[in-house]
Amino acid sequence: MNTVRIPINSATHIVAVFLSGERSAQSKAPRICLPRTKYEAVILSERSESKDPDEARHSTTVRPFLPMNSPFSSSNRIRRSAALLAILLASASAFAQTAPLTMQQAVDLARSKSPTLLAAEQNLLSVKAQELQAATRQNPYFAATGSNLTEPDSNGNPYAIGVGVGRLFERGEKRRWRIDSARSTTVETDDQLQLTVQQTVLAVRTAFTNLVIAKAAKKLADDNLADFKKEVAIGNDRYKAGDLAKLDYERLDLQLAQFESDDSNAITAMQQTSLQLQVLLGIDKPSADFDVIGDVVPPPVALSMDDLEQKALAARPDLKAAVAAVAVADAEVKLTYANGTSDPTLEADYNRNGIDNSVGFNLNIPIRIFDRNQGNKATARFTAQASRFTVTALHNQVVSDVDQAYSGYINSKLLSDRYNGHYLAESKDVLDIARFSYEHGNLALIDYLDALRDSRSVATDALNSYQQTWIAIHQLSFVTAADIAP
């Protein structure tokens, strides 16, 4: 019998054989058993005995590697399949939890788990509930009176009992305008919620980009540190061989501290940006294994500034909220005028005084000679006019926001393209030439260290330009309320 150990990660391949059961007589597949430990599986290959050697065959059987007295040592395929599938599902779940997030996945996660958005959604529901209250009508009321209840009917001052019902009737379509105001307020609150969503998405995208750039900076710092350690090792060999002066070697070794400092700072920056992003995503317990994946080099934006302005004017939630505020103000104007009308109260009553019965009614109408709600009417009119000026100002601000964001994008994109298409390659070429010349004694140490500093500076500036371009794209997406990046 031959035994081969394979990683448990190969369970995806095992399950196909595991579910297949007994093979045909021509099958030569080995026997596969469940893992003896959680780290490995065992493949057992044995040849079944046959009277005729030419008819000897391999039997392929899958069985748990368990004691014979175990209740799971049965040949029941369903139990074996369920056990192995459970292992695979657990492995897949563990993999899914550690898989790096894309930018869109991070945004979707923030939309569903961000406490800020969840609070804003509940606030919207509470505002919408006021529509129910605004639609309520005035309740009727019931009144009852009684006097001299212990006196008999024959007494000169007999008992008296009275009951009545009444109700206030609203005039001026007050209920209609209350409902209109409440509905407009709900629309305004919903637009404000969308603005909060856009702000959260901007924060998530910015933090995501910062983490991607921090990872790239960490990778760059690691590579630079590893390469320079090799240079220091070579310098040490040359120093020991007498080919390099002690001063030059120590200056070379001191430069290593700068690379180590860069690496340490990159680690700190990456950890901090990771924690910031996890908080924005609503993760209550940040994990050190949290990871993201995304492009470092920003994409181009194909839309023109005029197209972006039109998108912003059509979709900006703050502009929509301002328009909804005008509707709220107009409804309040109509409601204040309606509140200036008199609401009559009608009552009907029944009275029994001894042996006498009577019915009657009361009608109460306020005479609004002095208070006709004049102040509230004027206030509502001015508020409505102010809200219209607010819409005009916000319209102009939206156009300005787009123009500024587009200008920032164009300038940062030009610079990042220069780094990506010219400066990085040129810096690498200069460093390679300087390193070759220094190692062969044709370049002074000071000139080589200058080339190293220039290379590090160019690489860092390139990452900064990528980061600024990405942030400009995110800002464009925010000011237009649209997904600009492809």
Q: Give the tens place of pLDDT for each residue, 125-183.
A: 999 999 999 999 999 999 999 888 777 766 677 888 999 999 999 999 999 999 999 99
CA nearest neighbour of 174 among 135, 211, 223, 204? 135
Is 46:31 a contact under the CB 8 Å cutoff?
yes
Q: Give the tens place of pLDDT for each residue, 248-261.
A: 888 888 988 988 99
Neighbours of 472 (CB within 10 A): 23
| Amino acid letter for position 301 | V
Query: What token pair was written down for 352?
Result: 């029994």
**Where do we find the tokens 């030419």?**
54
Taking residues 9-32, report their average pLDDT. 38
Neighbours of 193 (CB within 10 A): 18
CA–CA separation, 35 and 29 (whole Å): 18
Q: Give the tens place of pLDDT for each residue, 420-444.
A: 889 999 989 998 998 888 878 788 8
pLDDT at 93 over 80: no
CA–CA separation, 38 and 7 (whole Å): 10
pLDDT at 9 over 90: no
Query: What token pair was written down for 257?
Result: 């501290």
pLDDT at 15 over 50: no
Is 427:455 a contact under the CB 8 Å cutoff?
yes
CA nearest neighbour of 316 among 420, 394, 256, 224? 394
- Compute the mean pLDDT over every residue in the chain, rounded to the nearest whole number: 81
Those residues with Cβ within 8 angstroms of residue 322's Cβ, 6 or more apart along the chain or in another chain: 387, 390, 391, 394
- By mean pLDDT, which of 16-30, 161-175, 448-462 is the weakest? 16-30
Give this prediction's pTM.
Answer: 0.72
- pLDDT bin (cut points 50, 70, 90) of residue 58 is very low
Q: Give the tens place of pLDDT for each residue, 270-281.
A: 999 999 999 999
Highest mean pLDDT out of 33-37, 50-54, 383-387, 433-437? 383-387
The reported pLDDT for the residue numbered 149 is 79
The reported pLDDT for the residue numbered 50 is 43
The side-by-side arrangement of strands in the sheet containing 345-353 is 141-147, 160-168, 345-353, 356-364
Those residues with Cβ within 8 angstroms of residue 474's Cβ, 6 or more apart along the chain or in another chain: 202, 205, 206, 209, 485
Report strand pairing: 356-364 vs 345-353.
antiparallel
The residue count for the chain: 486
What CATH number has the domain spanning 105-480? 1.20.1600.10
CA nearest neighbour of 85 among 36, 33, 21, 14? 14
User: Residue 405 region, left (φ>0) first, then alpha (ψ -120 to 50), else beta?
Assistant: alpha
Q: Give the tens place of pLDDT for each residue, 378-406.
A: 999 999 999 999 999 999 999 999 999 99
Q: Give the tens place of pLDDT for each residue, 194-247.
A: 999 999 999 999 999 999 999 999 999 998 899 889 888 888 888 888 888 888
Taking residues 62-70, report their average pLDDT. 43
Taking residues 452-470, report their average pLDDT. 92
- pLDDT bin (cut points 50, 70, 90) of residue 450 is confident
What CA–CA distances, in Å, run from 51 to 23, 28, 141, 224?
20, 18, 104, 68
CA–CA separation, 231 and 457 (whole Å): 19
Report strand pairing: 160-168 vs 62-63.
unpaired
CA nearest neighbour of 163 among 355, 343, 364, 357? 357
Residue 148's Cβ-count burial label (10 Å; 0-12, 13-18, 19+) is middle
Those residues with Cβ within 8 angstroms of residue 116's Cβ, 6 or more apart along the chain or in another chain: 196, 200
The reported pLDDT for the residue numbered 71 is 46
pLDDT at 101 over 70: yes
Spell out the long-range contacts of 285-288 with Cβ–Cβ below 8 A and sequence spacing 24 or more: none
Q: pLDDT: is 93 or 195 the higher one?
A: 195
**Where do we find the tokens 């964001």?**
405
CA–CA separation, 217 and 224 (whole Å): 10
Is 101:287 a contact under the CB 8 Å cutoff?
no
Residue ranges of the chain assigned to CATH 1.20.1600.10: 105-480
